[in-house]
Amino acid sequence: MNAAQNHLIEMLPVADRSRLLALCEPVELVLSEVLCEPGKPTRHVYFPTQGYISLVALVDGSPGVEVGMVGREGMLGAQLVLGVATVPLHALVQGQGTAWRIATAPFKRELARSAALRRGLNRYLYVLMAQQASSAACLRFHLIGQRLARWLLMSQDRAHSDSFHLTHEFLAYMLGMRRVGITAAASALQRDGLIEYHRGEITVLDRSGLEAAACSCYATSEQTYSDLLGSAAKAPAH
């Protein structure tokens, strides 16, 4: 793993970055691995460097719906910045890869020491809040095809590839829908030549077309991140 590969860590001044990385251990993000459960204490924070994590809201034992996504632009465990140790959401690996992991106690000590780390993570907390609010509104007001296009763009950004693995289970998390509706929406995007979808493998064929098919929530979320934290590396446009 290279020196940082996570945008929030890369933003730090050299001394702060070095201290934080000295506390980190590299870990593998295994597909479908559950990293934390709501109501449980936070044991570790994760700064993904490859791969990405789904943030899922669970209600009354339902499979849940995805309300956020964390890749190399962000971190898992941001509630610690607020002084809250309890995990708010179910988090599981959606795209396998790697991450820097830090135990809660040393992370909190470094957070208290580094003003730059606190400043960056406070801004990232705002981005997460905006993303989750946007997801709730998107679920209520936007058509399934628009929502699917949005989440595919978000997944592609964090996979850093035109092709990535995405099962019906994860699509159900993304859209809060049953399999039949997901299949119909994915088939429509495929017929329009925007994606190719076969046995959980998705290839984005027309990035600009997919952006046009997505709801406005995608562009709004990206602009919010850029305004507050600069531009993290994204998937190439076509």
pLDDT band of residue 144 (cuts 50, 70, 90) is confident
Q: Give the strand pairing for 25-29 and 44-57.
A: unpaired
Q: How confident is the model at residue 238 (pLDDT cuts 50, 70, 90)?
A: very low
Domains in the chain, start-ordered, CATH in brackets?
A: 7-138 (2.60.120.10), 142-216 (1.10.10.10)
User: pLDDT grade, residue 235 (50/70/90)?
Assistant: very low
Please give the model's pTM, rounded to 2 decimal places: 0.90
- pLDDT of 217 higher than 60: yes
Q: Predicted confidence band at 64 (pLDDT cuts at 50, 70, 90)?
A: confident
Q: What count of other Cβ atoms lies within 10 Å of the Cβ of residue 223?
A: 10
Is residue 236 scored above 50 in pLDDT? no
Range 27-54 average pLDDT: 96
Nearest of 37, 8, 5, 7 to residue 111 by alpha carbon: 8
Instruction: Specify the pLDDT at position 80.
Output: 97
pLDDT score of 3 = 57
Strands 25-29, 90-103: pairing is antiparallel
Pure H helices in 24-143: 104-113, 115-141
**124-128, 141-145, 166-170, 200-204: which is most confident:** 124-128
More confident residue, 61 or 66: 66
Distance, in Å, from the CA atom of 79 to the CA atom of 88, rounded to the nearest integer, reads: 8
Report whether pLDDT(117) > 90: yes
Burial of 7 (0-12, 13-18, 19+ CB in 10 A): buried
Does residue 211 have a pLDDT over 60?
yes
- Examine the pLDDT at 232 and tell me if it is beyond 80: no
In contact, 227 and 196? CB cutoff 8 Å: no
Average pLDDT over residues 183-201: 90
pLDDT given for residue 40 in this prediction: 97
Asked if the model's pLDDT at residue 142 lies above 90, the reply is no
CB atoms within 10 A of CB 185: 20
Residue 4's pLDDT is: 66
Q: What is the pLDDT at residue 185?
A: 87
